[in-house]
């Protein structure tokens, strides 16, 4: 995160003019906030009404706002009247990230949130990417742990949201957390499900991590429900159920309980498409592979949307977006989908760039690439070549000795020209 933010100062009247001169601070004001209120910003400046202040004190207040990480821009102006100063800080707030507590199995999110709010009353479950307020929040959690007999420093880091878009601000203890002894589901059908049992070793016995558990639930448990037509299951959040004296040393292995409610099974009713012109409604509907009365297999639906995008990719439409809106009838237990299509533009192949390999290997790859400059780009050809390079390299290079671990690959589009370059980097 960039903490070197914009700071400007406008002096409306000259008082106090020298760093050694001071005047009484009559009032501190703040403008431009969307999340914080004026009183909260004023408190962050560290300035107190009635105190003697000079120019440096006003500047220090602005610096504190910048270092907090909460603000992208800070500037201020002041006026004086009867030797008393009124200062106004004009701020622009930084975006906030949702906060997650990764490996604190002994405490609920609400307990950790309240620990932070004691020191940061404005805390609402979100924080900026960095700054003194993030450090202070981590220290608050660390102090809370110490009060409850757990000595561990708390780290914070910005990581990609494993279950959605954007990033999150993740708090975690630096020490090794307890390991997961077992996973218990409230839904007995999950406990007896063979596929679920096959996935349990991915999480049982591993260090306790909320992120790891959430990913497990999304990738191993949610698909089980979706395949059965349970399109609106309630899964989690995970709970740690410890018994015994809470003042004794915590166990090295802990049981995890997952509340799960499958919800009703839905049947497929219909699908409507809008915004499509390149591909027909018949073609797109066929890609879904669903007909009225079928169990609405959520994984099949998701796969069908991927196949629809692949159909567009065959024709050079790389920016296509499919927005699905499900309409549930909870009386008939049916679901109808309304698909909004944004096709974007068609791209044509421009150039193939290859790095990290020999000239001989490069010539072979170019010979294996069938498209010519100006051809409508077929994404399937690109993906087929990648599969051969990553899993069946002998089908490309034959007897040529070649060694690489990975193939970096990108499609670099130029919307202005309607062209796409294929980039391959061997490592």
- Name the least confident of 11-15, 100-104, 196-200, 275-279: 11-15
Tell whether the model's pLDDT for residue 12 goes beyond 60: no
What pLDDT is stored for residue 81 in this prediction?
82
Burial letters for 102-140: b for 16+ Cβ neighbours within 10 Å, e otherwise?
Answer: bbbbbbeeeebbebbeeebeebeeebbbbbebbeebbeb
Distance of CA 335 to the CA centre of its chain: 29
Q: How many Cβ atoms sit within 10 Å of the Cβ of residue 77?
A: 17
Strand, helix or coil at 153?
A: coil
The DSSP H or E segment spanning 184 is strand 179-185
pLDDT of residue 245: 53
Domain at 179-261, CATH class: alpha beta
Give yes or no on whether 6-93 and 179-261 have one common fold. yes
Residue 176 has a pLDDT of 82
Q: In terms of CATH architecture, what is 267-342?
A: Roll (3.10)
Q: How far apart are CA 351 and CA 375, in angstroms?
A: 11
pLDDT of residue 247: 53
List, for residues 50-66, the tens digit of each pLDDT value.
Answer: 999 999 999 999 999 99
Q: Roughly what angle, to the nearest 10 degrees, separates helices 109-119 and 132-147?
A: 120
Residue 306 pLDDT more than 50? Answer: yes
Class of domain 97-173: alpha beta
Q: ∠ CA 120-124-125 to the nearest 5 degrees?
A: 105
CA dist 205 → 132, 178, 208, 251 (Å): 36, 9, 9, 13
* pLDDT for position 5: 45
Q: For the chain, what is the mean pLDDT?
A: 90
CATH topology of domain 6-93: Ubiquitin-like (UB roll) (3.10.20)
Domain ranges (residues) in the chain: 6-93, 97-173, 179-261, 267-342, 348-426
Domain 348-426: give its CATH architecture. Roll (3.10)
For the beta carbon of residue 228, count every other beta carbon within 10 angstroms. 19
pLDDT score, position 17: 41
**Nearest Cα to Cα of residue 350 among 374, 316, 314, 367:** 374
Q: How many whole angstroms separate alpha carbon 212 and alpha carbon 218?
A: 10
pLDDT tier, 16 (very low <50, low <70, confident <90, very high otherwise): very low
pLDDT of residue 15: 43
What are 400-427's pLDDT values in tens digits? 888 898 999 999 999 999 999 999 999 9
Over residues 331-386, the pLDDT tens digits come to 999 999 999 999 999 999 999 999 999 999 999 999 999 999 999 999 999 999 99
Q: Is the pTM of this model over 0.85?
A: no
DSSP 317: B
| Residue 6 binned pLDDT confidence (cut-offs 50, 70, 90) | very low
pLDDT score recorded for residue 59:
94
Mean pLDDT of 237-254: 72
Contact call for residues 261 and 225 (beta carbons, < 8 A): no
pLDDT of residue 4: 42
Rounded (5°) CA angle 396-402-406: 80
Q: What is the pLDDT of residue 241?
A: 77
């Amino acid at each position: 995160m960039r903490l070197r933010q914009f700071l400007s100062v406008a002096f409306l009247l000259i008082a106090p003019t020298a760093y050694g001169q001071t005047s009484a601070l009559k009032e501190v004001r703040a403008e431009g906030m969307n999340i914080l209120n004026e009183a909260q910003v004023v408190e962050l400046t560290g300035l107190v009404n009635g105190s003697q202040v000079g120019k440096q004190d006003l500047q220090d207040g602005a610096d504190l706002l910048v270092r907090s990480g909460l603000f992208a821009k800070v500037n201020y102006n002041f006026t004086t009247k009867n030797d008393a100063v009124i200062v106004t800080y004009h701020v622009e707030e930084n975006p906030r990230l949702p906060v997650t507590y990764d490996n604190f199995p002994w405490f609920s999110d609400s307990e950790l949130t309240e620990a932070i709010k004691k020191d940061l009353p404005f805390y609402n479950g979100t924080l900026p990417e960095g700054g003194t307020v993030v450090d202070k929040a981590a220290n608050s959690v660390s102090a809370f742990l110490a009060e409850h007999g757990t000595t561990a420093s708390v780290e914070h880091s910005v990581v990609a949201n494993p279950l959605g878009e954007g990033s999150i601000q993740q708090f975690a203890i630096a020490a090794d957390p307890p390991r997961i002894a077992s996973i218990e589901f409230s839904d007995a059908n999950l406990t007896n499900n063979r596929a679920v049992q096959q996935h349990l070793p991915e999480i049982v016995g591993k260090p306790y991590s909320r992120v790891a558990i959430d990913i497990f639930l999304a990738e191993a448990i949610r698909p089980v429900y979706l395949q059965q037509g349970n399109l609106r299951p309630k899964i989690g959040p995970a709970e740690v159920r410890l018994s015994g004296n809470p003042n004794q040393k915590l166990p090295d292995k802990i049981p995890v309980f997952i509340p799960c409610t499958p919800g009703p099974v839905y049947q497929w009713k219909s699908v409507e498409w809008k915004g499509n012109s390149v591909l027909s409604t018949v073609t797109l509907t066929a890609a879904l592979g669903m007909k009225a009365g079928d169990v609405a297999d959520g994984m099949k639906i998701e796969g069908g949307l991927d196949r629809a995008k692949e159909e567009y990719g065959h024709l050079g439409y790389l920016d296509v977006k499919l927005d699905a809106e499900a309409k549930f009838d909870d009386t008939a237990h049916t679901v109808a989908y309304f698909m909004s299509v944004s096709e974007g533009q068609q791209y044509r192949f421009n150039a193939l760039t290859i790095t990290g390999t020999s000239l001989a290997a490069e010539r072979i790859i170019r010979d294996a690439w069938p498209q010519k400059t100006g051809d409508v780009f077929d994404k399937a050809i690109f993906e087929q070549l990648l599969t051969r390079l990553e899993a069946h390299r002998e089908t490309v290079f034959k007897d040529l000795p070649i060694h690489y671990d990975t193939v970096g690959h990108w499609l670099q589009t130029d919307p202005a020209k309607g062209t796409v370059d294929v980039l391959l980097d061997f490592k």
